[in-house]
Amino acid sequence: MLKLHGYFRSSAAYRVRIALNLKGLAYENAFHHLTRGGGEHLRPDYVALNPQALVPALEDDGAVLTQSLAIIEYLEERFPEPALLPKDAVGRARVRAIALGIACEIHPLNNLRVLGYVTKELGHSDAERTKWYRHWIADGFKGIEGLLAGNPATGSFCHGDKPTLADCCLVPQVFNARRFDCDLTAFPTMVRIAEHAASLPAFAAAAPGKQPDAE
């Protein structure tokens, strides 16, 4: 059986949970609390599994996969239906661009270890850390909103009317932005898509609050 190493609040693990649910795949969980005891993901047994010491990781029949987008692309190849990438090359490139725009340009700047470095190593206050977080959300969301708003390829989801890899990334990032009370009024298309997606069982079941390790 597939085994997902994650943490309820990890937005990268949230992406993979959505993809697994959309494809109707059963999986077992291994939870790694990212702050308890200094971070369970930093323990030697987990680092042996994923040398980058990040969640998620996915085990499948002895193989260990890391990096959420690589994991979702793996699932797409191994379990093609329902597809999370469009059939046409231009559409696939657009979906990947939105996904990477979130996973590479926004998420890494606001990751736990980055936020921890800003306060613990550089000596900034919690208020300054929040300012940093909100700044990079606003900056990154502006670009993603620009990719989505007014583009005829955008539908009820990021690309057309079926969920894709892009939505697997968008929904967790909007969730996180809300958690940090970011002002999202300038990003109506992103908010609309995230709210529509949340109404689908596959997205709802992947939400942090629904996970067995949720606090």
Q: How far is the CB of 169 from ligand GSH (least distance, A)?
A: 9
Cα dist. 172→119, 124, 176 in Å? 24, 26, 6
Q: How far is the CB of 55 from ligand GSH (least distance, A)?
A: 4
- Point out which residues bind ligand GSH (CB under 6 A): 10-12, 34, 39, 41, 54-56, 67-69, 103, 111-113
Cα dist. 177→69, 159, 187 in Å? 20, 21, 11
Would you state the structure tokens that stand for residue 206, as one six-digit string? 């992947």
- Closer Cβ to ligand GSH, 67 or 211, answer by number: 67
- Closer Cβ to ligand GSH, 46 or 203, answer by number: 46
Beta bridge pairs of residue 63: 60
CA 30/CA 91 separation, integer angstroms: 34
Determine the distance from the C-alpha atom of residue 178 to the mean position of all C-alpha atoms in its chain, rounded to a whole number: 14
Question: 163 and 194 in contact (C-beta within 8 Å)?
Answer: no
Q: How far is the CB of 185 from ligand GSH (least distance, A)?
A: 25
- Closer Cβ to ligand GSH, 57 or 197, answer by number: 57
In the chain, what is the straight-line distance between the N-terminal and C-terminal CA atoms, in Å?
A: 26
Q: What is the SS3 assignment for 27?
A: strand
- Closer Cβ to ligand GSH, 154 or 164, answer by number: 164
Q: How far is the CB of 45 from ligand GSH (least distance, A)?
A: 15
Q: How far is the CB of 150 from ligand GSH (least distance, A)?
A: 28
- Closer Cβ to ligand GSH, 110 or 154, answer by number: 110
Q: How far is the CB of 66 from ligand GSH (least distance, A)?
A: 7
96: CB partners within 8 A, 6+ apart:
85, 165, 166
- Closer Cβ to ligand GSH, 95 or 154, answer by number: 95
Determine the distance from the C-alpha atom of residue 69 to the mean position of all C-alpha atoms in its chain, rounded to a whole number: 9
